[in-house]
Structure 1
Amino acid sequence: MHLYGCPMTRSTRVAWVLEEAGLDYHYTVIDLKSGEGFKPPFINLNPSGKVPALVDGDLILTESAAIGIYIADKVPAAGLIPAVGTSERALHDQWCFFASSELEQPLWLMAKHTFAFPPDQRCPAVLPSAEWEFKRQLKVLAQGLGDKTFILGEQFTVADVLLSHILTWATRGLKMDLGDEKLEAYRQRTQARPALAKAREREAHEAALKAQAQ
Structure 2
Amino acid sequence: MKLYYAPNTISIASAITLDEAGIEFEPVRVDFRTGEQTKPAYHAINPKGRVPALVTDHGILTETGAILDYIAALRPEAGLVPSDPWDAARMRAAMYYLASTMHVNHAHKMRGQRWADNPASHADMTAKVPQTMTDSCTFIEENMLTGPLVLGDTLTIADPYLYAVCSWLEGDGVRVEDFPKIMAFRTAMRARASVRRAHETGMLK
> Structure 1: which 5+ runs fail to align?
205-214
What fraction of aligned residue pairs are identical, expressed as a percent? 28
TM-score, structure 2 as length reference: 0.85
1:104 equivalent in structure 2:
103
Distance change (3 Å), C-alpha of 1:73 and 1:203: farther
* Structure 2 residue 11 is the aligned partner of structure 1 residue 11: yes
Residue 7 of structure 1 aligns to a residue whose secondary structure is: coil
Deviation by residue 1:74-128 (Cα, 9 ceiling, x = unmatched): 1111121113x711111111111011112222111123259xx999586212234
Q: C-alpha separation between the residues in 1 aligned to 2:174 and 2:32?
A: 25
Distance change (3 Å), C-alpha of 1:147 and 1:89: closer
Q: C-alpha separation between the residues in 2 aligned to 1:44 and 1:127?
A: 31
Q: Displacement, 1:129?
A: 3.2
1:186 equivalent in structure 2:
185
* Structure 2 residue 141 is the aligned partner of structure 1 residue 132: no
What letter is aligned with 1:91?
R
C-alpha contact (below 8 Å) 1:150/1:186 kept by paired residues: yes
Q: C-alpha separation between the residues in 1 aligned to 2:58 and 2:120?
A: 37
> Structure 2: which 5+ runs fail to align?
none
Q: Displacement, 1:135?
A: 1.9
What letter is aligned with 1:166?
V
Q: Displacement, 1:193?
A: 1.7
C-alpha contact (below 8 Å) 2:3/2:53 kept by paired residues: yes
2:162 equivalent in structure 1:
163
Distance change (3 Å), C-alpha of 1:127 and 1:203: closer
Deviation by residue 1:60-79 (Cα, 9 ceiling, x = unmatched): 11212221121012111112
C-alpha contact (below 8 Å) 2:10/2:165 kept by paired residues: no
What letter is aligned with 1:35?
G
RMSD: 2.5
1:141 equivalent in structure 2:
140
Residue 23 of structure 2 aligns to a residue whose secondary structure is: coil
Q: Displacement, 1:138?
A: 1.7
What letter is aligned with 2:142?
Q
Q: C-alpha separation between the residues in 1 aligned to 2:25 and 2:201?
A: 10
Residue 49 of structure 1 aligns to a residue whose secondary structure is: coil
TM-score, structure 1 as length reference: 0.82
Q: C-alpha separation between the residues in 1 aligned to 2:163 and 2:35?
A: 28
Q: Displacement, 1:59?
A: 2.5
1:176 equivalent in structure 2:
174
